Amino acid sequence: METNGHEHVIEVTDLRRVYGGGFEAVRGISFSVRRGEIFALLGTNGAGKTSTVELLEGLAAPAGGRVRILGHDPYTERAAVRPRTGVMLQEGGFPSELTVAETARMWAGCVSGARPPSEVLALVGLETKARTRVKQLSGGQRRRLDLALALLGDPEVLFLDEPSTGLDAEGRRATWELVSALRDGGTTVLLTTHYLEEAENLADRLAIMHDGRIATTGTPAEVTAAEPSRISFELPDGYFVGDLPPLPELGVAGHETDGRIVRLRTRELQRTATELLVWAAQAGVELRRLDVRSASLEEAFLGIAKNVPADRATGMTTKEYAA
């Protein structure tokens, strides 16, 4: 359990999940999450995020590999794990005819050491909706109710499957603040998301999933460090790409043009930008629509979604996409 003095609260080894029809949704993934860490599983729809989280929650038995939550198998040792975990499913799970307060009271009766339901409802800003039926809540309010119930038992480990889907910008930010505060209080959080911004803002470490596998993993900085930064601008009138200083000398790794727009990829953003701007100043030209941006998670994400061979179900033809 102890590695480098940090307790691994979630340990996943070579995990596989195969559905009834033979579809292999999770194809041998491994990762671990330390206590007090926010770990994000990122991926497009169908990448295997929810299939993975359900195995960690103990809702199904894996087809292969191993899951340990707080040192226990969440599927076979349910009683040992459940009082210490909180779960927010991807959708629903509440009888539509119950009110918010009735739902929270019911759930509180099933959680060891539950906080007062009104307290967690206030935490997510639903205290004024206590007497509203669940079916009358907006999608965002339902998500917040789900989050509130996941927090009822003050869990050590929190599983959040797309916690901010359906929330407006304000609600999303509030959820991020809440989750960050929980992490600061020592809660370990595993969340899935397809919002890159969410992973970038919240996650201490993340894994990008594609086709049931982990394509890349690390801190947001580590994952983006593997990607080039980008500079784009409009060529000044009368200038061509060949009129620019030799691109390799600017540290440019590659470029493309789109009409008058030039896009440069570089791993030395400061040097490339400086040399380009010095050249423009000396030439006395204006680089209109200049855009300089560091490598982002988005680049990594799109790169992975594009590059990894998409051999979906076994037996189907494999399509490969050129980079």
Partner 1 sequence: MSATQTTLRPATAATTPLSRMTALARAELTLLGRTRGALVAALFVPLVMPVSVRSAAEEMDLAGAGLSTGTLVLPAAVGFSLLFAVYSVLVGVFVVRREELVLKRLRTGELRDAEILAGSALPAVLTGLAQCLLLTAGCVALLDLSAPSAPHLVVLGLLLGLVMCSALAAATASFTRTGESAQATPMPLLLVSMMGSGMFVPLELLPDKVASVCELLPLTPVVTLVRGGWAGNLSGYEALGALATAMAWILIAVFAVRRWFRWEPRR
List residues near partner 1 by CB under 8 A: 57-59, 78-79, 82-83, 87, 89, 91-98, 102-103, 105-116, 119, 123-125, 144, 171, 174-175, 177-178, 180-182, 185
Whole-number Å distance between alpha carbons of 182 and 159: 12
Buried/exposed code over 163-185 (b: 16+ C-beta within 10 A; e: otherwise) = bbbbbeeebbebbbebbeebbee
Least Å from the CB of residue 18 to partner 1: 14
Closer to partner 1 by Cβ: residue 102 or 204: 102
Closer to partner 1 by Cβ: residue 105 or 194: 105
Least Å from the CB of residue 89 to partner 1: 6
Count helices and strands in the chain by DSSP H and E runs: 10, 14
Give the list of residues 6+ apart from residue 205 with CB closer than 8 angstroms, or none: 33, 37, 38, 39, 40, 217, 218, 219
Please check whether residue 65 is in contact with residue 28, taking contact to mean a CB–CB distance below 8 angstroms. yes
Whole-number Å distance between alpha carbons of 304 and 287: 31
Q: Which residue has the tokens 């707080």?
A: 70
Least Å from the CB of residue 153 to partner 1: 8
Please check whether residue 68 is in contact with residue 33, taking contact to mean a CB–CB distance below 8 angstroms. no
Closer to partner 1 by Cβ: residue 116 or 309: 116
Least Å from the CB of residue 177 to partner 1: 6
Whole-number Å distance between alpha carbons of 202 and 198: 6
Closer to partner 1 by Cβ: residue 187 or 229: 187
Tell which residue, 228, 229, 158, 165, has the closest CA to residue 195.
Answer: 165
Least Å from the CB of residue 220 to partner 1: 22
Closer to partner 1 by Cβ: residue 138 or 257: 138
Closer to partner 1 by Cβ: residue 105 or 255: 105
Give the list of residues 6+ apart from residue 240 with CB closer than 8 angstroms, or none: none
Least Å from the CB of residue 167 to partner 1: 10
Quote the Cα angle for 18-213-194, to 5°: 105
Closer to partner 1 by Cβ: residue 17 or 144: 144
CA 47 to chain CA mean position, Å: 12
Least Å from the CB of residue 88 to partner 1: 9
